[in-house]
A and B are shown apart, each in its own frame.
Chain A
């Protein structure tokens, strides 16, 4: 579930000052620094995939029946699964899917929601009312329920999960962009542009959208974690990638049957989801604190 946060003047105004403050905040906060390192590690795994995995072929799905269900050891740090595949390799290779889905969802949701929200906040009046009522409809469903119904309708698959999540996520971006646009609209330079006779479309493209990008980017960063959690949950239900894909949620689901005896099968992919979401949330808190002057 996204938590709405209210964009403030500070974050609309100055990105460079913001980066400087971010660096200073990171230096004083070991937990946030650790979170940043975790996310950099995730990026490396996502970019290099099987090239940084100890057993590249097994990461992709090749089985080794002789080495089934081995507990964690020096040779297999996370143990092996029911088909003898090295779980560490599968977790590493699975990073790409998790990152790709979350970027795709956040990109689609922001790409669709932001222009709509900016128009609503800038135009006000009836356009605003219509667009906001539309977001109400999508937000009327409990989180994930709409996404589940959409995936059920489209059929399982990673791409369908991404589409379904984006459809249920865009209203948050529309609302956020609307709030920023509404406050930007009152600023003197926008008023000046309006009185100089610039058409609405030009003002939106040149002034409103570029200046509301910071809060959107921050929300998108925070959402990466939530989306990984959501996509993992859908995969756990069997709605995401299908075997033998090294998908974290799917691996937890497959390992669930063995949880009492071979606990490592489900535990390590589950931990992967948890650690990544935790890291994003810790950084998200830091970003929010930085952007909200009342919290400083």
Chain B
């Protein structure tokens, strides 16, 4: 186990090193003149020269890369051109709001996806199976931004059931102001006993979370179905049936446990999707998170911000996959021994 962990950690570090080279290349080599971008459209030649020197652009590339690495490691991710504030601060300030959305989506996608997958496998070829397959293929085919718009039209305009956009109601800060402790509204409102805010936050979270959950839900349901079908075909399941075990017990205790491993990999992969998917959902729902910031940065060519977000996304993705590997090794000895 120790060797397995060391191997994986080393692998992840090497990948992250490579990733930093890619973001460095994108940030420094592709724009013809990064200094001009920093100053803006009305830059004078001597300004550009001064900023070039400040940014270290007159140094040889390998030196620039080492400086870049040092800055990244010490938490200096540059200054956002748009907000003129440190990129890392901007990112970390908005991260909780996006993570709250992502966790809410996962809370929908994982249990519902797995349940639907099991249901589908149990009733293979019958109406429940056909229904679930339809739901899951629609889930993976719907663009997140389009689903978000449809949800707005249906639940806000037609049914008047859920709020149109935002993370909280606009008058909440006057009636029941929310104290920010962790940045996660649900947690902050719960620990401060602010039940009005808790209800309001939940209310606002439902539609964006559904819009974001559709794709991973479809993916998880499909994966669960196919691994369940494979597992239910195995000899030990047939033996269990021959011994007269109840079929619910077989499905949930014996088969699902073995079918869940590949599903875990898919769940790890969907975290990556959720990060970029949240960009689109946040834009439509006017959600004050990393996604909105990312999209504004991309549209306004805010280099340091874009590369910071790309780097953070890659780090998060690599770490999640590392965790998935570890959970798999812990659940299945075969993984750590090979």
Q: Which residues of A contact B (CB under 8 A)?
A: 1, 3, 133-134, 136-138, 140-146, 148-155, 225, 229, 232-233, 236-239, 249, 252, 256, 259-260, 263, 266-267, 270-271, 273-274, 277-278, 281-282, 285, 294-295
Contacts and interface: CB of A to CB of B under 8 A. Distances in A.
6 contacts: A148-B279, A150-B26, A151-B298, A152-B297, A260-B164, A295-B226
A237 B279 contact: yes
B299 A145 contact: no
A232 B143 contact: yes
A256 B298 contact: no
B118 interface: no
Given A151-B298, A153-B306, A236-B143, 10 more contacts: A1-B219, A137-B21, A142-B276, A143-B272, A149-B26, A153-B30, A229-B143, A256-B284, A270-B145, A277-B141
A169 to B, nearest CB: 14
B71 interface: no
Contacts of A136: 15, 18
A140 B299 contact: no
B306 A152 contact: yes
Nearest to B315: A140
Nearest to A155: B301
Contacts of A142: 271-273, 275-276, 313-314, 316-317
A256 B317 contact: no
A266 B149 contact: yes
B317 A140 contact: yes
B16 interface: yes
Nearest to A136: B15
Contacts of A282: 137
The 10 closest A-B pairs by CB, nearest first: A142-B272, A270-B146, A137-B18, A278-B141, A153-B30, A277-B141, A144-B276, A149-B310, A145-B313, A152-B298
State the main secondary structure of chain A at its contact with B. Answer: helix
Contacts of A145: 272, 275-276, 309-310, 313-314
Interface string B265-302: 00001111101100110011000000000110111010
B335 interface: no
A260 B153 contact: yes
B18 A140 contact: yes
B307 interface: yes
> Which one of A134, A145, A225, A237 has the greatest number of beta carbons of chain B within 10 Å?
A145
A228 B279 CA distance: 18
Given A136-B15, A154-B30, A141 B141 contact: no
B146 A252 contact: yes
A141 B152 contact: no
B145 A236 contact: yes
A95 B292 CA distance: 29
B23 interface: yes
A140 B254 CA distance: 34
B121 interface: no
B140 interface: yes
Contact of B152 (A151, A239, A260): A260
Contacts of B15: 133, 136-137, 140
A149 B306 CA distance: 6
Contact of A141 (B142, B284, B306, B314): B314
Contacts of A225: 141
Nearest to A146: B310
A259 B153 contact: yes
Given A141-B19, A142-B313, A278-B138, A238 B276 contact: no
B164 to A, nearest CB: 8
B295 A270 contact: no
Contacts of A277: 141-143
Contacts of A270: 143, 145-146, 149-150
Nearest to B223: A3
B16 A239 contact: no
B310 A263 contact: no
B313 A141 contact: yes
A70 to B, nearest CB: 18
Contacts of A274: 141-143, 146
B221 interface: no
A140 B19 contact: yes
